[in-house]
A and B are shown apart, each in its own frame.
Chain A
């Protein structure tokens, strides 16, 4: 189980790192005064400072219960069964992104829809194929034919000459 204070602390640490990255990135371009006004890094620099300082404060607040055990320690952030649900949903999305970058969005979405329906939700292969096949065709006619916006394509579309 992930406890609430652990998640709070993790998020605060992550954001503090983002703050530091912003500050170092801003320092590259100068954060002081130039003849033409504030240097380009000034504004992001101060924003980075706010992110860093506020995150440190949030982190401190999250860590307080460590000094007084039993205060918040029991409050859960994510129970094991929730973690399973969340991962079961997000890992296929990760697969969708990887597949889409390699094979294009049409093929990527078809594979993703087929995969989630058949392997996660035990849909019959025929029904899943119908849904997974219809979605890209519908998207093609809506996005590329009606609105004339180009989609991310892969080798299959090149072979089909689309």
Chain B
């Protein structure tokens, strides 16, 4: 089943009252976690995931993805009204969104943000609809070396392109893989890296890591900044929205460029945060009103929002087709898929078309639902942020620990969540990237299996990674990206030597 017929089937799955209700609940919960400091999309989804273990996978993924869309929208709301990015990926939205709000154009800024975000999301889903059949066909040709090549490429791009110090990114990734190896090894049955501690036998859950690293770590950072909430009040009327919507076509170039940037960064695991910054930078470079950027230029809101959301949605494509998540949140969902007993990768399209196409159809619907809901509920959610942090902060802490416990019902996980919280805080302050650590924890076993299988196929020779054109190009591209910081520096030096 592919393309159109698959999508029609998917709409049949997604358009039930139950699923639409789940979308609404998911989006509202998502906006809530997006608005609250310290609770973002990755750990919002992590907190909700244990509660979906008993649900049908299609319903569960619709709930979780809707929460993701909601969180992306919620993050933009606080960026514009409070100058506090609810999500790392909406940092770039504060640059022009908050100045616009200060100049009395809050409604306009919010409408621009939500409409362009919706546009970006739909472009992302359209891309998924168009490409998924092709990517799956392509991925069905993969065997273990090719899968290892894809993983290698993904992590190499984190080292080379993410903007974080390359050596720190490398530490994050390798640490994530090491943490994934803790506990019973599924192949040999050996109890690796447990050092005789019984609590480590079942391994370290990536969900606890997400809750600690993103949730508690983020909260500590918020506290340290001496949080003061200085929000701008905004009420959105349908007429304001329509007036802003009428201006949207004027910004077609920014919308289009940002969607392309977003889709690219979503499919290659650059993620929404990198996408929004890159898109903002490009919009500034190409704009005729460059001097207005940072002072409240609509393009400065449209560009990061469009890219953020198109990256968020298109990250679902590699997650489903290759088992390779394009963002931290997608990584959490990928872990969820495995917990629900699904096997992410090209076979998913063959074995569970109802799941795949139901999800894709729900992404169309969910994003439309999200735009409508977020426009309708901005005043409500903005008022939540006016509750003193003295109450909100400890409540979020409690929610994080309840979430950590409900994952597996293990008291030890409370200590782990606290430890990961401290680590997350230190990592953030010292520019160690966190997303690749989570990605490595989630796909650690799969990457290791791919490596082991390849080695068995080749009887221990690394040359298997150069054995056919496909895997060779994957590995070559990966190596180029891995050493990109060095290559880039060398090119610079050559250029300046010539000049």
Contact = CB atoms under 8 A, between A and B. Distances in A.
Contacts of B187: 40
B390 A123 contact: yes
Interface string A125-162: 00000010001000100010001111110000000000
Contacts, number: 164
B177 A113 contact: no
A3 interface: no
A89 B188 contact: no
A151 B402 contact: yes
A43 B452 contact: yes
Contacts of A29: 185, 188, 190, 192
B418 A93 contact: yes
A120 B51 CA distance: 33
Interface string B219-238: 11001101000000000000
B394 A38 contact: no
B406 A55 contact: no
A78 B401 CA distance: 26
Contacts of A7: 426, 429-430
Nearest to B415: A97
Interface in B154-174: 165, 167-168, 170-171, 173-174
Contact of A36 (B175, B192, B456): B456
A136 to B, nearest CB: 9
Contact of A11 (B174, B193, B406, B430): B430
A107 interface: no
Interface string B404-440: 0110010100110010011001100110100000000
Nearest to A110: B398
A12 B380 CA distance: 44
A51 B175 contact: yes
Contacts of A152: 405, 409, 411, 414
Nearest to A34: B188
B444 to A, nearest CB: 9
A3 B362 CA distance: 49
B343 interface: no
B193 A112 contact: no
B54 A148 contact: yes
Contacts of A61: 167
Interface in A12-70: 15, 18-19, 21-22, 25-26, 29, 33, 36-41, 43-44, 47-48, 50-51, 54-55, 57-58, 61
A149 B402 CA distance: 11
A58 to B, nearest CB: 5
Interface residues on A, range: 35 or more
Contact of B426 (A11, A36, A120): A11
B386 to A, nearest CB: 16
B228 to A, nearest CB: 13
Nearest to A50: B174
Given A57-B167, A97-B415, A139-B402, A51 B451 contact: no
B171 A15 contact: yes
B394 A54 contact: no
Contacts of B281: none
B18 interface: no
Contact of B395 (A58, A135, A150): A135
B52 to A, nearest CB: 9
Nearest to B412: A101
Contacts of A151: 402, 405-406
Nearest to A120: B390
A37 B455 contact: yes
B460 interface: yes
Given A26-B193, A43-B177, A149-B50, 14 more contacts: A22-B193, A44-B192, A47-B178, A89-B220, A90-B421, A100-B414, A109-B401, A113-B395, A117-B390, A121-B388, A121-B390, A139-B402, A149-B51, A150-B409
Report, nearest first, the 5 A-B pairs whose CB atoms are least far apart: A50-B174, A121-B390, A25-B193, A37-B456, A44-B181
Interface of B: 50-51, 54, 165, 167-168, 170-171, 173-175, 177-178, 181, 185, 187-188, 190, 192-195, 216, 219-220, 223-224, 226, 388, 390-391, 393-395, 397-398, 401-402, 405-406, 409, 411, 414-415, 418, 421-422, 425-426, 429-430, 432, 448, 451-453, 455-456, 460
27 contacts: A21-B193, A25-B194, A26-B193, A29-B185, A38-B452, A38-B460, A40-B187, A40-B192, A43-B448, A47-B175, A47-B181, A48-B178, A50-B171, A50-B173, A51-B171, A54-B167, A54-B174, A85-B223, A97-B418, A105-B405, A113-B395, A116-B390, A116-B393, A135-B398, A149-B50, A151-B405, A151-B406
Interface of A: 7-8, 11, 15, 18-19, 21-22, 25-26, 29, 33, 36-41, 43-44, 47-48, 50-51, 54-55, 57-58, 61, 77-78, 82, 85-86, 88-90, 92-94, 96-97, 100-101, 105, 109, 112-113, 116-117, 120-121, 123, 131, 135, 139, 143, 147-152
